[in-house]
Chain A
């Protein structure tokens, strides 16, 4: 059951990350920089650095999740990114919104809908991380022969 759930979660999250990266990479990086800048949490030099690197990071995480490689690192990395995004979005929403979410390209304002969607994605990635790191159940112990009863040869 948990193997199937892990499979579904990693494929869904991986595709979302790949799509998010694609929507950012298909437009000039400075357009994404303006979306980040509108949150007003980073100085310009950091805005430029994040705008150049974040889409590629999302793409790398997405590919790792879809392929199932290095899942122990990709799942927490996805969770960490989503926690940061979610915190920034809540801050922007509490301040009155009116800014571009920047989640999937441009043209989508931060709203209750985007918060619900990113909250769901964050929950999925946290669950995936939990499934990857939870302690494995010990296997059933092998049958032990009782004294005096010879094992079949």
Chain B
């Protein structure tokens, strides 16, 4: 009897835990409710013009309309392409910024100033320009640490496992159905696709 009560209480605790929305921290690489009906894994390269376009024209409204509303769980991943000289460094600075809860802020800035640091290679300057002096010092140290390098390499490995062959690539998942989408898709088209999955 005691055993049955214990199992029941474990089950009830499990159900209540699963039903509770757990929103990911807004400064992190993962945004939204992990239990959202749709998950999007976004593989992106900070030096790629298509990624910049997607980030500014599609991802921003997507976060506002779907991620904040709990309909989409967005996981941003680094996928610096070897053809882009400064993309790996930019990915390291973005991941370092996540450690201090400033991933979105630094990511926005890296995309906004892409044209400049692509030419002069001053990724650190661009990433730190939106941070305080203390935070800038922190991410400068973190960006060259083995821990951050491992994080970036793990994302690259995950991308290779997903057969990502270009950036930006979104892997849209609903239950067991997965739809890889490569290229800068406009928001109206993506919205219609997401609505069709939600309905």
Q: Which residues of A contact B (CB under 8 A)?
A: 27-28, 30-31, 33-35, 37-40, 44, 47-48, 95-100, 106-110
Give the top 9 A-B pairs by smallest Cβ distance, nearest first.
A38-B183, A99-B183, A109-B166, A100-B182, A98-B166, A30-B193, A37-B189, A44-B188, A109-B165
Which of B167, B179, B181, B192 counts the most chain A CB atoms within 10 A?
Answer: B181
Give every chain B residue within 8 A of A108 (Cβ-Cβ): 165
B168 and A98 contacting across the interface, CB-CB below 8 Å? yes
Q: Is B42 an interface residue (CB 8 A)?
A: no
- Nearest chain-A residue to B184 (Cβ)? A38
Q: Which of B1-58 contact A (CB under 8 A)?
A: 48-50
Q: Which residues of B contact A (CB under 8 A)?
A: 48-50, 163, 165-168, 179-186, 188-190, 192-193, 196
B193 and A106 contacting across the interface, CB-CB below 8 Å? no
B186 and A98 contacting across the interface, CB-CB below 8 Å? no
B185 and A98 contacting across the interface, CB-CB below 8 Å? no
Question: Known interface pairs A30-B192, A30-B196. Does A100 touch B167 (Cβ–Cβ under 8 Å)?
Answer: no
Give the distance in Å from the alpha carbon of A30 to the alpha carbon of B196 in the complex: 9
Give every chain B residue within 8 A of A39 (Cβ-Cβ): 183
Question: Known interface pairs A34-B185, A37-B189. Does A97 touch B166 (Cβ–Cβ under 8 Å)?
Answer: yes
- Nearest chain-A residue to B188 (Cβ)? A44
B48: contacting residue among A27, A98, A109, CB under 8 A: A98
B192 and A106 contacting across the interface, CB-CB below 8 Å? no
Give the distance in Å from the alpha carbon of A31 to the alpha carbon of B190 in the complex: 9
